[in-house]
Amino acid sequence: MTITVDSLAETHAALQHAPIGAAILDRTGVISWANPALGSIVGETDATALRLSLITVWFETEEGDALLQMIESHFDALPETRVPWSRAINFSRRDGAEQPCEITLVPCTAAFDQWAILYVKSLAQLTLAEKRFTQIFENLPLGLLVIDGRQRIVQVNSALADEFGYAREELVGRSLEMLLPERYRASHAGHVEGYTRAPESRAMGSGRDLTGRHRSGREIPVEIALTRLETVAQPLFMAIITDISKRKRAQMALEQTNTQLEEFTYVASHDLRSPLRGIGDLVSWIREDIGDEHLSDGVKHNFDRISLRITRAEQMIDDLLTYARVGVRDPHMETIDPAKVIEEAVSLANVPNGFTVDIDVSGSRFSAPLTPLATSLRNLIGNAVKHHGGESGMIRITMHDEGRFAVFTVNDDGRGVTPGNEERIFKLFHRASPGTSGDGLGLAFTRRMINAHGGMITVQSPGALGGASFEIHWPRILLKEFEDD
């Protein structure tokens, strides 16, 4: 556009407080006036110091010569044919740093056709934002690609190229269809067209499995999130593509393991319980046929030992069934009062009178399934007594909030856990202390139950009181994967 003013003073007044740099030039490129914004761009605190200097001194030699030729061409044209023109250029600041800018030369009216106005807009923030975007785009450990409105790939990062087995230069400029299995290509165009009409950041293919096509031809399971990039030139769209092959394999392996465990426990229950009962019946009949009055004390003792071991084997089968069931999350949520649930767990654990129990709760109430949490605490308190090694002792139970977890700690002053057994005590049929009753399933139950609800349990020995210290991290805030179960 052409600036129409009655005097240069009016121009000065209009541009004095403009948010972009402005200077009035003659045909030789000499600055007759500059505003403070231009002084800030070139690093000059006093804009009046720019007067009577050549605009070209702020550029590299080649860029300065090209700019001067453009200015001369502008003034060589007839005033009525002069039009604004723009270009991107780097200013050399007084401190030596370069600043990217966009300059626009605008003609004045015929009355002042011996001057022109040069607008200078700093692109430093835009350039910095682009660099930051590029750094984030390239360094994210997720596959990222940008496509245009015609579904051509404009930009990809290394993570995506590696996921699909291509070099980046093999993807840029190509159709997005090359990354899609053939059966999806016919419907894909319609999905994209629908998205471009009403673009919003969302997950793609919600409720169904998506796959991408690797360079080798095999398909890989993926998750895709779409978002629109705001640009001036053309609409662009960014997709975040995550290869979930490992997660799918882990999920399938876990499901298969749980299924096999349940099948095993139920088969074991049926196939082992019947012969055990048969053996028990036979032992009882033999003892009845002989009669206790004809048995020596040693034989009676052996008969009792057989019955006890049959009972213990049946209990182990029941425990295996219980172990399989505790791997399922309890969906029933309640408001948990930490102090109350600890007190009830202590009461149900039947702690002997010789033990002192100290409770310290600083955390807040939260929502969670009550039964598995209370059972876990009761098991740990009972273990603290059973494996203590003495007739009296100290048990300290604390609870505090830590991020999205409620952290419960059960400390005792007993003999603790033998070094090297910190992980082994959570295995099936492993007893924490030799010579104690039980079949070694309590801690295995507890860990499986806690893990099924998104928590975790760890042990440290010696702990704060010198014995074992068990710590439960129970989620106060559920992750979405558990909420969707």
Same domain? 118 vs 138: no
Q: What was the pLDDT predicted at 91? A: 81
CATH assignment of the domain containing 346? 3.30.565.10
Q: Peptide bond preceding 369: is omega within 30 degrees of 0, i.e. cis?
A: no
Q: What was the pLDDT predicted at 206? A: 46
Same domain? 355 vs 462: yes
Inside any domain, residue 225:
yes
What are the 10-residue block averages of pLDDT along the chain, 485 residues in total?
A: 55 81 88 88 85 84 83 87 84 80 82 84 82 86 86 90 91 88 73 60 54 88 80 76 80 74 68 78 86 84 85 70 67 90 89 92 92 89 88 93 92 88 78 55 84 90 91 82 50
Same domain? 253 vs 317: yes
Q: What was the pLDDT predicted at 230? A: 67
Inside any domain, residue 280:
yes
Q: Please name the residue that has the structure tokens 């596959």.
A: 143
Same domain? 364 vs 443: yes
The pTM for the full model equals 0.48
> What separation in angstroms does the CA of 346 have from each of 94, 342, 376, 474?
75, 6, 11, 18
Inside any domain, residue 445:
yes
Vertex 484, ends 482 and 485: CA angle to 5°? 70
Sign of the Cα pseudo-torsion (306, 307, 312, 316, in order) = positive
Same domain? 426 vs 285: no
Same domain? 134 vs 178: yes
CATH assignment of the domain containing 293? 1.10.287
Inside any domain, residue 311:
yes
Domain boundary among 303, 325, 347: 325
Same domain? 344 vs 459: yes
CB atoms within 10 A of CB 383: 24
Q: How many domains does the chain have?
A: 4
Q: Is 167 helix (H, G, I), strand (E, B) or coil?
A: coil
Residues 215, 174 contacting (CB under 8 angstroms): no
Among 55, 51, 74, CA closest to 64: 55
Question: For 158-229, where are the E strands, in sequence order?
Answer: 202-204, 210-213, 219-229
CB atoms within 10 A of CB 255: 10
Domain boundary among 217, 243, 269: 243
Burial 260-293 (b: 16+ CB within 10 A, else e): eeeeebeeebeeeeeeeeeebeeeeeebeeeeee
Q: Which residues form the domain of 180?
A: 128-243
Domain boundary among 325, 353, 379: 325
Q: Which tokens is 374 given?
A: 């209370």
What residue type is 232 in one-letter code?
V
CA dihedral of 339, 340, 344, 346, whole degrees rounded to 10 = 10
Same domain? 352 vs 453: yes
Same domain? 355 vs 433: yes
CATH assignment of the domain containing 161? 3.30.450.20
Q: What was the pLDDT predicted at 199? A: 55
Inside any domain, residue 3:
no
Same domain? 435 vs 472: yes
Sequence-separated (6 or more) residues with CB below 8 Å from residue 216: 165
Residues 238, 229 contacting (CB under 8 angstroms): yes
Same domain? 255 vs 298: yes
Same domain? 259 vs 365: no
Inside any domain, residue 389:
yes
Inside any domain, residue 272:
yes
Inside any domain, residue 73:
yes
